[in-house]
Structure 1
Amino acid sequence: MPEHDEVITLVDEEGQEHDFTVVDILEINGSEYAILLPAKEETDEAVILKFAKDEDDNDILIDLEDDEEWEMVADAWEQLVTEEGEDA
């Protein structure tokens, strides 16, 4: 599992490589999610991917296809960032 602020490379469906910075990893309802930011793009738009296992039991990251699940994770991360900001 990647460490926070580590840069990881993901390959899309077309075989293109994209670098992302791991901003945070959250555990919600027994599932783990990675909060990622594109490493080379000037954007604050985070990408949320879910940890899963492939057929060889390796960790992989998959897209969230359920809008409600995406909102749940985004809300949890926003709340965490807000709480950390208040503690600073």
Structure 2
Amino acid sequence: MGRADGTELDVITVSDEEGHQHEFTVLEYVEVDDQRYVVVVPTDAPEDEAAVILRVEGDTLVSVDDEAEFDRVVAALESEREDLEVEVEEEDSR
């Protein structure tokens, strides 16, 4: 998978709490309020798979659970990339 300019996208490997490793393709990096975020999709995901925004904390990636923080990151992504279409999907609260 590559970018429109022909360069390759970064792939990162993340270990979950149970020690399982998962590969993600990095779509975008963004900095908001001196905090770095990464937008990723699972490497083996179908093309229409929803991306995930994670906060970078040192060597750790953390999910963004605070709605206001998430909204600030989405706004920054939209302002930096006019070609980016952001649709927010609500998670089931089951």
What TM-score comes out, normalization by structure 2 length? 0.69
Secondary structure at the counterpart of residue 71 of structure 2? helix
Give the alignment partner of residue 6 of structure 1, picking from 5, 10, 17: 10
- Report the Cα offset of residue 79 of structure 1: 2.8
Q: Compare 19-28 and 61-70 and name the one that shifted more.
A: 61-70
Q: Cα RMSD (Å) of the superposition?
A: 1.7
Ranges in structure 1 where 5+ consecutive residues have no aligned partner: 54-58
The answer for the alignment partner of 2:42 in structure 1 is 38
Q: Aligned partner of 1:79: which letter?
A: S
Report the Cα distance in structure 2 between the residues aligned to 1:81 and 1:38, rounded to whole angstroms.
21
- Report the Cα offset of residue 29 of structure 1: 0.7
Q: Aligned partner of 1:62: which letter?
A: V
The answer for the alignment partner of 2:73 in structure 1 is 73
Confirm whether residue 25 of structure 1 aligns to residue 29 of structure 2: yes
Structure with the higher strand share, 1 or 2? 1
Identity among equivalent pairs (%): 33
Report the Cα distance in structure 2 between the residues aligned to 1:20 and 1:26, rounded to whole angstroms.
16
What TM-score comes out, normalization by structure 1 length? 0.73
Q: Aligned partner of 1:35: which letter?
A: V
Report the Cα distance in structure 2 between the residues aligned to 1:75 and 1:14, rounded to whole angstroms.
33
- Report the Cα offset of residue 10 of structure 1: 0.7
Secondary structure at the counterpart of residue 62 of structure 1? strand
Q: Aligned partner of 1:81: which letter?
A: R
Q: Aligned partner of 2:77: which letter?
A: W
